[in-house]
Amino acid sequence: MKLKLILLFSLCLFCGCSDSAISESSIVEFTQPETEQVSEMPVTETMIPTTETPQEELTEKEIVQAVWEDMYGAYYGDPDKPYPVFDGSKLVTYENEVEYLMHRAEILPQKYLGHIEDEQDLIQKAREILIDIDGEDYVKDVESDSIEVDGVEMAIERKYPPYTTKYYEDYDIWYIVPNPPSGTREDGKEFAVIWDFPPYFFIRGEDGKILAVFN
């Protein structure tokens, strides 16, 4: 009997201590540090103005030289080589061939042809200059679809059109050169008319200014 009472008393003490511990621990408040509230503000990117270095505008001579080197530089070589020309009375030496071509354009009676719309417009306008420079018979030969052989006029099938053109979009420059007749005659024979140096032009598309001419 005593043993049972001692056991019950011990159990009561044990349970009482546990309840006290649990109750005390249950009223302990754990506080976490407050997290600072960050307001959601719209993010605005700061635009740093950039200053672009404007591209230097090419001079007319630089444009002509760039086009000339593309068309003829591979054949004629050094663009800085002096270019001597006999003008009919004396020998004139130019800085280079480009200088000569631009000089020839400067002395033309008509230097502005008006805005160049397209290839056909270019041909029509350049054709008038060719007539002024080399005459109507020359242009007629350029555009001919027949050739005279031993007094007989023969139709021809041309290998190349009367004019070769090319547009340089980067420079707004038209190139045009006439082609002498060549191809096949109506009798089936091949033929070619050889001209030493056919004239050619570099013409600005915007206003039709003839920047350079070889003739």
Is the residue at 50 inside a domain?
no
* Contact partners, residue 96, CB within 8 Å, separation at least 6: 78, 79, 80, 81, 82, 83
What's the residue count for the chain? 215
pLDDT digits (tens, 9 = 90+) for 44-96: 444 444 455 445 799 999 999 999 989 887 566 567 788 888 888 899 999 98
Is the residue at 52 inside a domain?
no
Distance of CA 193 to the CA centre of its chain: 36
Q: What distance in Å separates the CA atoms of residue 133 and residue 202, rounded to the nearest whole number?
A: 15
- Provide the 3-class DSSP secondary structure of residue 107: coil
Supply φ then ψ for residue 166, to 5 degrees: -155, 140
Q: Is the dihedral of CA 185, 191, 194, 199 positive or negative?
A: positive
Tens of pLDDT along the chain (215 residues)? 444 444 333 433 344 444 443 333 333 343 444 544 544 444 444 444 445 544 579 999 999 999 998 988 756 656 778 888 888 889 999 998 999 999 999 999 999 999 999 999 999 999 999 999 999 999 999 999 998 889 999 999 999 999 999 999 999 999 999 999 999 999 999 988 888 789 999 999 999 999 999 98
Q: What distance in Å separates the CA atoms of residue 167 and residue 117, rounded to the nearest whole number?
A: 12
Range(s) of the domain holding residue 198: 60-214
What is the reported pLDDT for 52?
A: 52
Is the residue at 78 inside a domain?
yes
Number of structural domains the chain divides into: 1
C-beta of residue 205 within 8 angstroms of C-beta of residue 116: yes
* Residue of 134, 133, 201, 198 whose CA lies nearest to 160: 198
Is the residue at 174 inside a domain?
yes
Is the residue at 82 inside a domain?
yes
What letter does residue 9 receive in the DSSP assignment? Answer: H
The structure's pTM equals: 0.71
What is the reported pLDDT for 76?
A: 62
What is the reported pLDDT for 196?
A: 76
What is the reported pLDDT for 79?
A: 72
Is the residue at 96 inside a domain?
yes
Neighbours of 22 (CB within 10 A): 9
Is the residue at 67 inside a domain?
yes
Is the residue at 133 inside a domain?
yes
